[in-house]
Amino acid sequence: MTTAILVKDLTKKFNDLVAVNHISFEIEQGEIFGLLGPNGAGKTTTLSMLATMQKPTSGLATIQGKNVEKDEDGVRKAIGIVFQDQSLDEELTAGENMDFHGRLYRIPTEIRKQRIDELLRLVELHERKNDIVKTFSGGMRRRLEIARGLLHHPSVLFLDEPTLGLDPQTRNHLWQYIATLSKEKNISIILTTHYMEEADRLCDRIAIIDHGTIIALDTPENLKNGIGGDIITISTPEFEKASKILTEPWITNLEIYNDEVRISLQNAEQHISEVITALNQYQIPVTSVSIHKPTLEDVFLSYTGKKIRDEETDKKETMRVHHRMVRH
Ligand SMILES: Nc1ncnc2c1ncn2[C@@H]1O[C@H](COP(=O)(O)OP(=O)(O)OP(=O)(O)O)[C@@H](O)[C@H]1O
């Protein structure tokens, strides 16, 4: 295994604000690695430091062994970047946008032409090569940006929120491209996202990041298995009372989130009737009950006591979150 990206104790401060706080990880060649976290968690700042666009306050980062502070040119040659801000020229055609980028990287004319055709085919835009970008949909623009990011044959690709604002179908489509790319070209991909499903479907490993710190790092499977089996969610106005009576030994964890009691357990189907019976016995009104397999949302909730989307949907939402670890 070859290390493509090495990050050690990387930190970025903006005056008093610690945007990235002593994070460390390694990414192998060919791996798809996700930085998953809510808005403001420090994902973009991390990518910007790795892409030599911002100087770290302290710590070390290397891309293909090249130090991001000491060998900016070396790092830039090794990486392709697709950041959040749209950076295509709307008035130029797809081919012209690619060509312009190729010239910036001084790729010789013949090779440039060849690669432009190859990459536009890869992202299924070859037929639209001579159309101006203004006429492209959001998904087509993203695909073109990805193709452009690959023109100088980088071995590492940075994708900042690659499917932000795209509809579910286009998002799915793009995930397939990204997965194919990494496999066929053995490119390491580091992407940021706050879409759980994106991280789950695409990434070999995920670092969950919150307030500039990595709070969990593993494969999606291991992260979800770490929750401890299935989850039963009970909505009830009497969530405090419910949490006190649910003390069976097969409950591995219990949390209250807003007016929901969430219990983790193995084989939820076998125990659901006991849960309902116990709540009935104590005359606890139940609005709804559901069983589901753990998702990355549950992992995030379990580590932080909050949902990943909360900050996005309503920053002022107040939450009452209690954590109560129960016996194993
Ligand atoms: N140039 C800057 N000056 C001051 N503060 C900044 C700057 N860039 C980012 N920050 C702050 O650093 C923190 C991390 O921001 P960052 O953009 O890295 O988060 P993020 O996880 O990428 O979120 P998003 O998904 O919203 O981009 C935030 O509190 C942000 O306001």
The protein residue with its alpha carbon nearest to ligand 1, atom 14, reads 42
Last residue of a domain, one of 219, 245, 273: 219
Both 155 and 234 in a single domain?
no
Choose between 313 and 96: higher pLDDT: 96
What's residue 15's pLDDT? Answer: 94
Mean pLDDT score, 118-127: 90
Q: Is the CB of 55 under 6 A from ligand 1?
A: no
pLDDT digits (tens, 9 = 90+) for 279-324: 999 999 999 999 998 889 888 888 887 777 654 443 333 233 333 3
Lowest-confidence region among 103-112, 268-277, 310-319 = 310-319
pLDDT digits (tens, 9 = 90+) for 11-41: 999 999 999 999 999 999 999 999 998 889 9
Both 200 and 256 in a single domain?
no
Q: Is residue 102 part of a domain?
A: yes
Cα–ligand 1 centroid distance for 40 (angstroms): 5
Q: Is the CB of 39 under 6 A from ligand 1?
A: yes
Helix (H, G, I), strand (E, B) or coil at 19: strand
ipTM of the complex: 0.96
Mean pLDDT score, 56-60: 97
Cα–ligand 1 centroid distance for 16 (angstroms): 13
Q: Is residue 302 part of a domain?
A: no
Q: Is residue 171 part of a domain?
A: yes
Q: Is residue 304 part of a domain?
A: no
What's residue 309's pLDDT? Answer: 66
What's residue 84's pLDDT? Answer: 77
Q: Which of 13, 43, 160 to mutate to test the pocket of ligand 1 (most atoms within 8 A of CB)?
A: 43
Q: Is the predicted pLDDT of residue 50 greater than 90, yes or no?
A: yes
Atom of ligand 1 nearest to the CA of 46: 18
255 beta partners: 262, 323
Q: Is the predicted pLDDT of residue 147 greater than 50, yes or no?
A: yes
Both 200 and 260 in a single domain?
no
What's residue 207's pLDDT? Answer: 96
Cα–ligand 1 centroid distance for 200 (angstroms): 23
Q: Is residue 47 part of a domain?
A: yes
Both 59 and 92 in a single domain?
yes
Last residue of a domain, one of 166, 200, 219: 219
Both 57 and 197 in a single domain?
yes
CATH of the domain at 40: 3.40.50.300
Q: Is residue 76 part of a domain?
A: yes
Both 14 and 126 in a single domain?
yes
Distance between CA atoms of residues 154 and 78, nearest Å: 5
Both 103 and 250 in a single domain?
no
End-to-end CA distance of the chain: 37
C-alpha pair distances (Å), 117 with each of 94, 131, 144, 184, 262 = 11, 14, 12, 17, 52
What's residue 311's pLDDT? Answer: 42
At 14, list the tokens.
């903006």
The protein residue with its alpha carbon nearest to ligand 1, atom 4, reads 14
What's residue 115's pLDDT? Answer: 93
pLDDT digits (tens, 9 = 90+) for 154-184: 999 999 988 887 888 888 888 888 898 888 8
Cα–ligand 1 centroid distance for 317 (angstroms): 21
Distance between CA atoms of residues 282 and 269, nearest Å: 21
Q: Is the predicted pLDDT of residue 113 greater than 90, yes or no?
A: yes
Q: Is the CB of 41 under 6 A from ligand 1?
A: yes
What's residue 287's pLDDT? Answer: 93
Last residue of a domain, one of 193, 219, 245: 219
Do 209 and 215 form a contact (C-beta atoms < 8 A)?
yes
The share of the chain scoring above pLDDT 90, in percent, equals: 62
Distance of alpha carbon 230 from its chain centroid, rounded?
23
Q: Is the predicted pLDDT of residue 141 greater than 60, yes or no?
A: yes
Both 103 and 238 in a single domain?
no
> How many domains does one find in the chain?
2
Both 14 and 145 in a single domain?
yes
Both 215 and 243 in a single domain?
no
Both 194 and 266 in a single domain?
no
Lowest-confidence region among 44-53, 61-70, 73-82, 162-171 = 162-171
Distance between CA atoms of residues 112 and 103, nearest Å: 8
CATH of the domain at 237: 3.30.70.100
Distance between CA atoms of residues 273 and 205, nearest Å: 36
What's residue 168's pLDDT? Answer: 85
SS (H, E, C) 191-225: EEECCHHHHHHHCCEEEEEECCEEEEEECHHHHHH
Q: Is residue 287 part of a domain?
A: yes
Q: Is residue 270 part of a domain?
A: yes
Domain extent, residue 61, equals 3-219
Cα–ligand 1 centroid distance for 289 (angstroms): 38
C-alpha pair distances (Å), 281 with each of 255, 275, 301 = 21, 10, 29
Mean pLDDT score, 65-81: 94
DSSP string, 127-142: GGTTSBGGG--HHHHH
What's residue 325's pLDDT? Answer: 34
pLDDT digits (tens, 9 = 90+) for 78-93: 999 988 777 899 999 9
pLDDT digits (tens, 9 = 90+) for 219-254: 999 999 888 789 999 999 999 999 999 988 999 889
Both 95 and 167 in a single domain?
yes
What's residue 38's pLDDT? Answer: 87
